A and B are shown apart, each in its own frame.
Chain A
Amino acid sequence: MSYTPPLAEQRFVLETIARIDELQALPGFEAATPDLVEAVLTEAGKLAADLFAPLNVVGDKIGSKAVDGVVTTPPGFKEAYNAYAEGGWIGLGAHPEHGGQGLPFVLASAVQEQITSANMAFSLCPMLTLGAIEALQAHASPEQQALYLAPLIEGRWTGTMNLTEPQAGSDVGALRATATPAADGTWRVKGQKIFITWGEHDLTENIVHLVLARTPDAPAGTKGISLFIVPKFLVNADGSLGARNDARVVSTEHKLGIHGSPTCTMAFGDNDDCVGYLVGAENAGMRAMFTMMNHARINVGLEGVAIAERAYQQALTFAGERVQSAKFGGAREPVRIIEHADVRRMLMTVRAFTQAARAIAYLNAAAVDRAHAEADAAKKAEAQGLADLLTPVTKAFSTDIGVEMSSLALQVFGGMGFIEETGAAQHYRDSRIAPIYEGTNGIQALDLVGRKLPMDGGRHWRSLLQRERSFVGGLPKTGELGQMVPYLEDAIEALQTASVWISGNEGDKLADTAAGATPYLRMFGLTIGASLLARQAAEAARRLDVGEGDPAFLKAKIATARFFAEQLLPAAPALLGPITRGADLLYAIPEDALPG
């Protein structure tokens, strides 16, 4: 099952939506010239296609399992990991002073998308390392940075993220792991963490666990959480490895998908000797973890895009080969199923949703880059606001799309889709985790309505909607682009109304906000996704006009945007009712009457 990196599509979205040309003009990103972007996508794409894609099925079949405290990864994973790490790919977006290349996060995200399409289970390992690098760059002391960052960036060590405990999932504030000060200024960490992705493995000589725990007398809830570095092997002052730390894998989970990724139960301090190092201030752990999570949420959102892309490619190949049934209303001969209207509907739907979700994710990642690199304070704040606003949408909309689209792509295969050997089933199973981890999609929707909309008095959603409204206002009223305009206008209007309604809810009415949160996030994703596709269509039309670029690709861009606007976007204004209907109907049946 091959994977072809969608290079032209990725580059086009980087150019028209992420505006990588503008990013390249910002201090620090000078190296991100068009030819470098091209070279990076091409070369990383080779690794994804040649090394990681062939290991996807192996990873699924064999899986990574813990036996007696040792996790053995599937055959080939270690060699592929080494090629990736030695190629310097982990450091693509990391700070140059620790050996990174300092390229834009959005370019790192495009590379991460390729690796994830090729092999989602594997991709989680470098993704978590990136999160750890990000958190340490932002919050660790210079000494800690000097010790841990270079090996992580070089890929000699990997990182993990340890929040979840049996009683503390969505509610991170409920965690109970403890950290007590030791005489030497370090800490002793104790507690159990569950579902820790790549918590133990045989790919690298060391693993840097970032662990959330409570110090003595810490206040309850999220205000009393601190972040600790807990290395698998302690690190000597000269960077060499010392004693084995008291942090061990207890077991790995048996699960629906991503079998290649070890999901570990971790025991910290079973022998009361788990050494941890405090990162930042005591009780400031949640903020530090959010640095990590905001990156991770965008990358998890991209998992939805990546898996939908892979599923699309395979469904398309199959549809072009499978001959079945005569065409409805056509000649008697059986045709390849790609000729049937309903199969086209499925393929176009997968294609359009995948591209819409990709555009949102890249816009989001580029906003992170702007917030980081803009010198002007106002522009910086504006970019940060957009990044914050979009993050729950990128995470939840895209990962829902990942599940829905890998399901639809599987449907294209008919019965063979249900049979494991086609690989369609694996994508569907693998996709299913993404709406759950990194904050469930329900939590993302609450984050969007509860925290992100009200931010800065609602300035950020208003300016995003204003931006898209004036873009649509500037589209021609006729021709292919003009066809989309009424649909886009309707959706933006509905999103405006829904946003105002949500922003007006207070007190008792907050229950209604919570009830409308998930359909609201969907409406948000549909509307912004459609608008970003329309922007691409407008740019495609311009290039066609001046005779720039590949006409087939550009015409397909316009057709995809139109399909999204005219066939899929009408679902967005239709959600206005459900969003604003309130919570009554959800609670209309008393709990004890729900059975039966």
Chain B
Amino acid sequence: MKILVPVKRVVDANVKVRVKPDQSGVELANVKMSMNPFDEISVEEAVRLKEKGVATEVVVVSVGPAQAQETLRTALAMGADRGILVTTDGPTESLAVAKLLAKIVAEEAPGLVILGKQAIDDDANQTGQMLAALLGWGQGTFASKVEPTADTVSVTREIDGGLETVELKLPAVVTTDLRLNEPRYASLPNIMKAKAKPIANKTPADYGVDVTPRLTTLKVTEPPKRSAGIKVKTVDELIEKLKNSGVIA
């Protein structure tokens, strides 16, 4: 079985993001970028399935700027076999990415597509779901356990009430949650080997997909600064204050 893993290049989780002065977005120039942490979990899961002999090949895909090649290299250094880079300089919206992925799926015919449940830049949480819908495949989202058999995959999902296990017919779409696994550190020999692994360079036009944004960003602002707290002496006083501020009735 072949596994396809889409990975996104995002602002590193440790960077304190700043809003651009014109409020058109967040500052990306000269900011440290890394692989979306949920995608690291997806790559790890795919590589583990390959190491277990369940998967035969792990193909990673990134849609983004030319530098997303580094993100693909990171995935290759973790153990993926080859990469596909779909270069586009504009914003990457979920639907456009899902459409591109659907075309790539048609070419590659993977048994599983493993995506992160969301990317930490937009927190949209919809690419996997959109892809499943476009393909007409089953989806197992927010996975904390993934167990494929010959023609099904059992996915344990993290839901509000606890855990839910679904069984999907293959091929299927899975999106990963934090507790699925702990991604490995790339080893030095694998970093060196990753240099020689192939990355195919594509454009949205190659797949006939129009990636023109459909959303308009009106304004991006910093979250309001937290104002100083106050100390209350009694529970009654607390309730009083909450009532007065309109938080409770």
Report chain A residues within 8 Å CB of B32: 7
Partner-binding segment picked from B56-64, B92-100, B189-197: B189-197
Contact between A39 and B77, CB atoms less than 8 A apart = yes
Report chain A residues within 8 Å CB of B191: 36, 39-40, 43
Mark contacts of A96-127 with chain B using CB atoms, 8 A cut-off: 1 yes-contact digit, 0 otherwise: 00000100000000000000000000000000
Shortest CB distance A97–B (Å):
15
Report chain A residues within 8 Å CB of B77: 39, 43
- Asked whether any CB of chain B lies closer than 8 Å to the CB of A550, the reply is yes
Q: Which of chain B's residues has its CB closest to A33's CB?
A: B195
- Asked whether any CB of chain B lies closer than 8 Å to the CB of A38, the reply is yes
Report chain B residues within 8 Å CB of A549: 30
Report chain A residues within 8 Å CB of B194: 39
Interface residues of A in 545-584 (CB under 8 A from B): 549-553
- In the assembled complex, the Cα of A88 lies from the Cα of B193 at a distance in Å of 13
Contact between B30 and A550, CB atoms less than 8 A apart = yes
Contact between A89 and B192, CB atoms less than 8 A apart = no
Contact between A92 and B188, CB atoms less than 8 A apart = yes
Contact between A88 and B185, CB atoms less than 8 A apart = no
Q: Which of chain A's residues has its CB closest to B34's CB?
A: A42
- Known contacts A4-B14, A31-B195, A553-B30: does B73 contact A39 (CB below 8 Å)? yes
- In the assembled complex, the Cα of A38 lies from the Cα of B195 at a distance in Å of 12
Report chain B residues within 8 Å CB of A89: 188
- Asked whether any CB of chain B lies closer than 8 Å to the CB of A420, the reply is no
Interface residues of A in 57-114 (CB under 8 A from B): 83, 86-89, 91-92, 101
Contact between B186 and A43, CB atoms less than 8 A apart = yes
- Known contacts A39-B73, A43-B77: does B188 contact A91 (CB below 8 Å)? yes
Report chain B residues within 8 Å CB of A340: none
Interface core residue of A38, A43, A101 (most chain B CB under 10 Å): A43
- Asked whether any CB of chain B lies closer than 8 Å to the CB of A47, the reply is yes
Mark contacts of B22-36 with chain A using CB atoms, 8 A cut-off: 1 yes-contact digit, 0 otherwise: 000000011010000
- Known contacts A43-B77, A550-B30: does B195 contact A36 (CB below 8 Å)? yes
- Asked whether any CB of chain A lies closer than 8 Å to the CB of B74, the reply is yes
Report chain B residues within 8 Å CB of A238: none
- Asked whether any CB of chain B lies closer than 8 Å to the CB of A287, the reply is no
- Asked whether any CB of chain B lies closer than 8 Å to the CB of A35, the reply is yes
Interface residues of B in 53-78 (CB under 8 A from A): 70, 73-74, 77
- Asked whether any CB of chain B lies closer than 8 Å to the CB of A372, the reply is no
Q: Which of chain B's residues has its CB closest to A102's CB?
A: B192
Contact between B70 and A88, CB atoms less than 8 A apart = no
- Known contacts A87-B185, A88-B187: does B192 contact A38 (CB below 8 Å)? no
- In the assembled complex, the Cα of A31 lies from the Cα of B194 at a distance in Å of 12
Report chain B residues within 8 Å CB of A86: 187
Q: Which of chain B's residues has its CB closest to A39's CB?
A: B191
- In the assembled complex, the Cα of A33 lies from the Cα of B73 at a distance in Å of 14
Report chain A residues within 8 Å CB of B14: 4
Report chain A residues within 8 Å CB of B30: 549-553
Shortest CB distance A33–B (Å):
7
Interface residues of A in 9-37 (CB under 8 A from B): 31, 33, 35-36
Q: Which of chain A's residues has its CB closest to B186's CB?
A: A43
Shortest CB distance B69–A (Å):
8
Shortest CB distance A515–B (Å):
47
- Asked whether any CB of chain B lies closer than 8 Å to the CB of A223, the reply is no
- Asked whether any CB of chain B lies closer than 8 Å to the CB of A429, the reply is no
Extra pairs beyond A101-B188, A551-B30 (11, CB < 8 Å): A31-B192, A35-B195, A43-B191, A83-B185, A87-B185, A87-B186, A88-B187, A88-B188, A88-B189, A552-B30, A553-B30
Mark contacts of A276-292 with chain B using CB atoms, 8 A cut-off: 1 yes-contact digit, 0 otherwise: 00000000000000000
Interface residues of A in 192-246 (CB under 8 A from B): none
Shortest CB distance A38–B (Å):
7
Q: 22 A-B contacts, Cβ less than 8 Å apart?
A: A33-B195, A35-B70, A36-B191, A38-B70, A39-B70, A39-B73, A39-B186, A39-B191, A43-B74, A43-B191, A44-B188, A51-B185, A86-B187, A87-B185, A88-B187, A88-B188, A91-B188, A92-B188, A101-B188, A550-B30, A551-B30, A553-B30
- In the assembled complex, the Cα of A7 lies from the Cα of B189 at a distance in Å of 21
Shortest CB distance B244–A (Å):
31
- In the assembled complex, the Cα of A50 lies from the Cα of B182 at a distance in Å of 13
Chain A interface size band reads: 20 to 34
Contact between B188 and A35, CB atoms less than 8 A apart = no
Q: Which of chain A's residues has its CB closest to B191's CB?
A: A39
Shortest CB distance B222–A (Å):
18
- In the assembled complex, the Cα of A549 lies from the Cα of B70 at a distance in Å of 17
Report chain B residues within 8 Å CB of A7: 32
Q: Which of chain B's residues has its CB closest to A31's CB?
A: B192
Which of B185, B189, B192 contacts A46, CB < 8 Å?
A: B185
Interface residues of B in 1-45 (CB under 8 A from A): 14, 29-30, 32
- Known contacts A4-B14, A552-B30: does B192 contact A36 (CB below 8 Å)? yes
Report chain B residues within 8 Å CB of A553: 30
Report chain B residues within 8 Å CB of A38: 70
Which of B29, B74, B185, B189 contacts A39, CB < 8 Å?
A: B74
Report chain B residues within 8 Å CB of A46: 185
- In the assembled complex, the Cα of A451 lies from the Cα of B78 at a distance in Å of 48
- In the assembled complex, the Cα of A335 lies from the Cα of B123 at a distance in Å of 37
- In the assembled complex, the Cα of A549 lies from the Cα of B30 at a distance in Å of 8
Contact between A47 and B185, CB atoms less than 8 A apart = yes
Report chain B residues within 8 Å CB of A44: 188
Shortest CB distance B120–A (Å):
17
Report chain A residues within 8 Å CB of B192: 31, 36, 101
Shortest CB distance A106–B (Å):
16
- Known contacts A43-B77, A550-B30: does B70 contact A87 (CB below 8 Å)? no
- In the assembled complex, the Cα of A552 lies from the Cα of B32 at a distance in Å of 14
- Known contacts A38-B70, A43-B77, A553-B30: does B188 contact A87 (CB below 8 Å)? yes
Interface residues of A in 124-153 (CB under 8 A from B): none
Shortest CB distance A114–B (Å):
13
Q: Which of chain A's residues has its CB closest to B187's CB?
A: A87
- In the assembled complex, the Cα of A51 lies from the Cα of B184 at a distance in Å of 12
Shortest CB distance B145–A (Å):
24
Shortest CB distance A244–B (Å):
32
Q: Which of chain B's residues has its CB closest to A44's CB?
A: B188
Shortest CB distance B170–A (Å):
33
Interface core residue of B29, B187, B194 (most chain A CB under 10 Å): B187
Shortest CB distance A278–B (Å):
33
Contact between A101 and B189, CB atoms less than 8 A apart = yes
Shortest CB distance B200–A (Å):
17
Shortest CB distance B8–A (Å):
17
- In the assembled complex, the Cα of A33 lies from the Cα of B74 at a distance in Å of 15
Q: Which of chain B's residues has its CB closest to A550's CB?
A: B30
Report chain A residues within 8 Å CB of B186: 39, 43, 87
Report chain A residues within 8 Å CB of B73: 35, 39
Shortest CB distance B178–A (Å):
16
Shortest CB distance B9–A (Å):
13
Shortest CB distance A317–B (Å):
12
Report chain A residues within 8 Å CB of B195: 31, 33, 35-36
- In the assembled complex, the Cα of A188 lies from the Cα of B187 at a distance in Å of 40
Interface core residue of B30, B185, B188, B192 (most chain A CB under 10 Å): B188
